Structure 1
Amino acid sequence: MAATSMPIATFTALEVLRQGGNALDGAIAAAAVLAVVEPQSTGIGGDCFCLYAPAGTGRVVAINGSGRAPSASTPEALRSRQVSKLVNTDPHVVTIPGAISAWELLNSAHGRKPLGELLAPAIRCAEEGWPVHARVALDWHDAADKLRGNAASARRFLVDGMAPGIGHRFVQPELGRTLRAIAAKGARAFYEGEIAADMVATLRALGGLHTEEDFANALRMAEFVEPIKASWRGMQVYQCPPNGSGLHVLQLLGILEGFETPEQGPMSAERYHRHIEAARLVYRDRDAFLADPSQVDVPVAKLTDPAYLAALRGLIRDDRVMPAMPPAGESDLARHKDTVYLCVVDADGNACSFINSLFQSFGSGILAEKSGVMLHNRGFGFRLQDGHVNCIAPNKRPLHTIIPGMVMKDGEAIMPYGVMGGHFQPMGQTLFLSNHFEFGLDVQEAIDCPRLFPGPGGGPVELERGIPGPVIDRLSRLGHEVKLVDKPHGGGQAIFIDRRAGHFVGGSDPRKDGLALGF
């Protein structure tokens, strides 16, 4: 079974499985297709994280395929160029893309089929074109001004100055040639030679500090890392470690597990209120501590310690919002003054949870035109504030939002899952997990259920339409500032491996154009 955010990607993964590939092969092939047909969300100019559970091993393998800042990136260097703050469309927020390094490493370590074969469907989609789907068209329209801000992007990604509409066959011959080069020569073709030179020249023409040496050094940038996990409701929930925000999923689950399940159900004010309050506490910790652990200390053990999470739980009251929060990492009030996710499971039980992203819609909006590579803006997670854990620094990874998830039980994978959507992802994952495992909704219902998000940094709670009016009224009376939003929060996929019944149950989010399908 495969579940992705576009039908052609789901079909691609299943074809790889039918031809003898394993779950990881299917995931890479699907991700490559998505990098072509869902260009606002993902691309080879972005980053990648993956959790892979090889059948029969009881293990979960994690890979960090996030990129690093150029070696010359310092606050002083940026200030000398009159950069006083980071802007999401500037070259300074483009870190060296890590996705291709990750694909090659995963494929060489755990794949069955050669990388070149897995890229063939994506190459075909790029060279022959693919029709624009409904959600893609909406996002494209919303990002049109960003694309107009870059001459190359405007030429290649707009039609007569406008975003292409539903059904327009979008062709990317330059990206097709780049994918052919990677298929023939591997990741080295991306990080060295004319493709890397094109990306560097594009960025430097805009004032970027990137060098071809930075790209060459990134060839082996992706690395296997030790996943982090937490016990929850008799299962183990696995996440990639920092610099990704998976630890905040574990925090949220740990806080909420100590409450009795609200009898009113998953769309009750009580349930939503507790989730909002827990998220406010957890995102407070995220903004203070989440960073590149190779350069700063990220106190994962403390932030996920059950005693600490229990103390945070004690701050949450059912009758009103918290009027104030203690400082990050503390629980004593008296001291207070667009991404793609996909999953694939093969007939042997190998399970893959895979996420690949440009961060914001069309990333930085900067297109390396000769190579057809749209460059992400993941470095927008950095700051220029000296002493902050996310202050930009040479070869540093920024705070990352993309997080694949995996649920294990009794040493076996039972669910690869994920919920995309930038900063929303820890909130989205925990809403989904609770919907399914706590409230008993089936996989598709758990994905469909209306969502809300308090968001980091204060501001109103953003509510999707579909939450009942009396529930919204009750949240307001509890003290929450609420705001209805038209655009939905994220999009998710999941595959439940029902080992007792001997089948898979998949779901794919209607908020995207996706599909879950198996055979």
Structure 2
Amino acid sequence: MRLPPVHVPCVDVPRRTPRPRSLSLCGLALAAALLASPTVASAADRVTGAPFATRSEVYAPHAIAATSHPLATQIALDTMRAGGSAVDAAIAANAVLGLMEPTGSGIGGDLFAIVWDPKTQKLHGYNGSGRSPRSLSLAEFQRRGLTEIPAHGPLPVTVPGAVDAWFALHQRFGRRSMAQNLAPTIAYARDGHPVHETIAYYWDRSVPRLSKWPGFAEQFTIDGRAPRTGETWRNPNLANTLQAIADGGRDAFYQGDIARTVDAYFKANDGYLSYDDLASHRGEWVEPVSTNYRGFDVWELPPNGQGIAALQILNILEGFDLKAHGFGSVEHLHLFTEAKKLAFADRARWYADPAFDPAPVARLISKDYAARRRALISMDSALREVQPATPAQLDEGDTIYLTVADADGMMVSLIQSNYRGMGSGMAPPGLGFIFQDRGEQFVLQEGHPNAFEPGKRPFHTIIPAFVTREGKPWLSFGVMGGAMQPQGHAQILMNLIDFGMNLQEAGDAPRIQHDGSTEPAGQATPMRQGGELDLETGFDYAVVRELMRRGHSVRFADGPYGGYQAIMVNPQGGWIGASESRKDGHAAGY
């Protein structure tokens, strides 16, 4: 029997990066491809007719965690069993993912989080993104003849905000000491752990690209190659770095010997990140913003992230009866794609560091603005080009995602990344981590809101999400993967709210990814000819043909569909969890 195409997980990289084509990455993705009928448009199991899922939802009465690695999930649960809060558990899980899944995370990257606090009955947002080096200028890129910031090496490096974010979250919501939260990762880093299959695959892809940069091969390969599936990996340098942080707090990272080592390393390697850049870093608490979608309040963080794109997509789609059209229908796929194009045109124009160029967020996520944009959609033909809103119309953002909920009702939605999988490749000697290359997201174009400037935060792709209903928590979730993230957020909520899927089905249903919209990075090239539409296995071929008749350019693509974790409040008491079948994900509770 011939197998249908298997789509494998993506990392937080731009779509121009080649995607893997492999039938061996993860058994659950293979199971999904085998069971999902390519001629059924309802995301249904071809035997039972029920909505398709790779596994059951996870139910837990007290606490629950969903991460992209089974050992990280267990560490989160162990932390809460020992008296830690959901924030303690999220920090512990994030720390160990930096060791075990360095293809998507690490202390060289940034972090964003949304926390539901049961004491105040309120959501709290944290923007843990770092700024560009203050000694680097747009003129320097121009002097070098660059029109885009390189993907790797010292030039795209920005200040890593993850460690600061850990301590800010912990100060407000933690119960165990940071030393206790970091202890499991320190032990695994010294003693070793077996590398999981999907991670080994992406690690192997990163080694040829990044080994040229000083410190990478010495600290992130075994005799010049990536660790293989099941092979034990140790990182004693990271253990020492985390022990210094556990002993000395956040300042040990941003103002101590670690910062001095970083400063010397970049000075010796044509870099600009300095001790002063690290010492001056502070993340910030921010107010999440929301829109109501069919009675559910969907919360995202405001720019410099891209979260409000999900809110704009949902606002546009709310004017259509998606439930009547049905999952996988031509109308479902067409309307979603057109709404995404409209939202992403604004994303390219308006989303940037608000300290330099504040976006009109309230107007962008308003219902009347959505109605104006919705009127641009034709049911019979695809939009070829889309313009963003003008200022006059508006007067009046590779990765890991995890979510944790504890027995007291605290919920954490946390996303963290080095960008481009393993980041810049810049790994200072003896520290055991790689710096992010998030600065690649700047535009080298004077006057653009996302133009490179010293001390500025770039446009950011990583976004956590949260949903409340009638003022009470309902869902903590995320979908990692570059520009797929707001598209994935909207699709998960459509699956849950419009199409009646359960939490696991909503993640396992075949996904849509539109590519080719104007980007707020690089040269910010406008969308031409409507872009490209990627459809995962499971959509009716007759639907695909009709999409093409309406002007959509549909192509085959492996893997640009993101990675999902979610926790929902069980109305009967306790929690419901789900995790991504396209990655090594694991949801569990007690």
- Normalised to the residue count of structure 1, the TM-score between the two structures is 0.95
1:367–1:375 contact (8 Å) kept in structure 2: yes
Which residue is 1:300 aligned to? 361
Which residue is 2:57 aligned to? none
Q: 1-side partners of 2:426 and 2:467: how far apart? A: 37
Deviation at 1:264, TM superposition (A): 4.5
Which residue is 2:583 aligned to? 512
CA-to-partner distance for each residue in 1:269-328, whole Å, 9 max, x for gaps? 211111111111111111111100011121112211211111111111222102332344
2:148–2:440 contact (8 Å) kept in structure 1: no
Query: Is the aligned partner of 1:60 residue 2:123?
Result: yes
1:27–1:354 contact (8 Å) kept in structure 2: yes
Query: Is the aligned partner of 1:407 residue 2:478?
Result: no
Deviates more, 1:150-159 or 1:168-177: 150-159
Summarize the Cα distance change of 1:320–1:80 in structure 2 as closer, same or farther, 3 Å threshold. closer
1:508–1:514 contact (8 Å) kept in structure 2: yes
Query: Is the aligned partner of 1:325 residue 2:397?
Result: no
Deviation at 1:73, TM superposition (A): 2.4
1:465–1:484 contact (8 Å) kept in structure 2: no
Which residue is 1:503 aligned to? 574
Q: 2-side partners of 1:121 and 1:469: how far apart? A: 48
Deviates more, 1:78-87 or 1:479-488: 78-87
Deviation at 1:352, TM superposition (A): 0.7
Deviates more, 1:393-402 or 1:74-83: 74-83
Show structure 1 runs of 5+ residues with no match: 333-337
Which residue is 2:31 aligned to? none
Which residue is 1:144 aligned to? 207
Structure 1 residues 61-460: aligned runs within 5 Å: 61-218=124-281, 221-329=282-390, 338-455=398-515, 456-457=517-518, 458=527, 459-460=531-532
Instruction: Please tell me the residue identity of whatever aligns with 2:576.
Output: V
Deviation at 1:98, TM superposition (A): 0.4
Helix, strand or coil for the counterpart of 2:122? coil
Deviates more, 1:194-203 or 1:234-243: 194-203
Q: 2:555 aligns with which of 477, 483, 487?
A: 483
Which residue is 2:108 aligned to? 45
Q: 2-side partners of 1:208 and 1:366: how far apart? A: 10
1:73–1:392 contact (8 Å) kept in structure 2: no
CA-to-partner distance for each residue in 1:80-138, whole Å, 9 max, x for gaps? 45544311103121110000001001101111111111011111121112211111012
Instruction: Please tell me the residue identity of whatever aligns with 1:182.
Output: I
Q: 2-side partners of 1:482 and 1:205: how far apart? A: 47
Helix, strand or coil for the counterpart of 1:150? coil
Helix, strand or coil for the counterpart of 1:71? coil
Q: 2-side partners of 1:175 and 1:470: how far apart? A: 52
Helix, strand or coil for the counterpart of 2:335? helix
Q: 2-side partners of 1:101 and 1:236: how far apart? A: 29
Q: 2-side partners of 1:331 and 1:266: how far apart? A: 37
2:214–2:428 contact (8 Å) kept in structure 1: no
CA-to-partner distance for each residue in 1:3-56, whole Å, 9 max, x for gaps? 000001111111111111111111111111111100010000000000001114
Helix, strand or coil for the counterpart of 2:382? coil
Show structure 2 runs of 5+ residues with no match: 1-63, 519-526
1:55–1:412 contact (8 Å) kept in structure 2: no
Summarize the Cα distance change of 1:329–1:40 in structure 2 as closer, same or farther, 3 Å threshold. farther
Deviation at 1:462, TM superposition (A): 2.0
Deviates more, 1:464-473 or 1:20-29: 464-473
Deviates more, 1:258-267 or 1:129-138: 258-267
Deviation at 1:59, TM superposition (A): 0.9
Q: 1-side partners of 2:265 and 2:176: how far apart? A: 34
Helix, strand or coil for the counterpart of 1:31? helix
Q: 2-side partners of 1:444 and 1:330: how far apart? A: 41
Q: 2-side partners of 1:391 and 1:476: how far apart? A: 36
Deviation at 1:331, TM superposition (A): 11
Deviates more, 1:205-214 or 1:61-70: 205-214
Which residue is 1:335 aligned to? none
Instruction: Please tell me the residue identity of whatever aligns with 2:157.
Output: V
Deviation at 1:255, TM superposition (A): 0.6
Which residue is 2:546 aligned to? 474
Deviation at 1:160, TM superposition (A): 3.6
Aligned length: 511
Q: 1-side partners of 2:493 and 2:472: how far apart? A: 17
Helix, strand or coil for the counterpart of 2:556? strand
Instruction: Please tell me the residue identity of whatever aligns with 1:161.
Output: G
Deviation at 1:65, TM superposition (A): 0.3
1:230–1:238 contact (8 Å) kept in structure 2: yes
Deviation at 1:203, TM superposition (A): 2.4
Deviates more, 1:430-439 or 1:193-202: 193-202
Instruction: Please tell me the residue identity of whatever aligns with 1:290.
Output: Y
Helix, strand or coil for the counterpart of 2:322? coil
Instruction: Please tell me the residue identity of whatever aligns with 2:235.
Output: Q
- Normalised to the residue count of structure 2, the TM-score between the two structures is 0.84
Q: 2-side partners of 1:466 and 1:484: how far apart? A: 12
Instruction: Please tell me the residue identity of whatever aligns with 1:134.
Output: E
Deviation at 1:330, TM superposition (A): 8.1
Summarize the Cα distance change of 1:329–1:267 in structure 2 as closer, same or farther, 3 Å threshold. farther
Summarize the Cα distance change of 1:258–1:176 in structure 2 as closer, same or farther, 3 Å threshold. same
Q: 1-side partners of 2:506 and 2:391: how far apart? A: 32
2:342–2:388 contact (8 Å) kept in structure 1: no
Q: 2-side partners of 1:215 and 1:82: how far apart? A: 28
RMSD between superposed Cα atoms in Å: 1.7
Instruction: Please tell me the residue identity of whatever aligns with 1:319.
Output: D
Helix, strand or coil for the counterpart of 1:416? strand
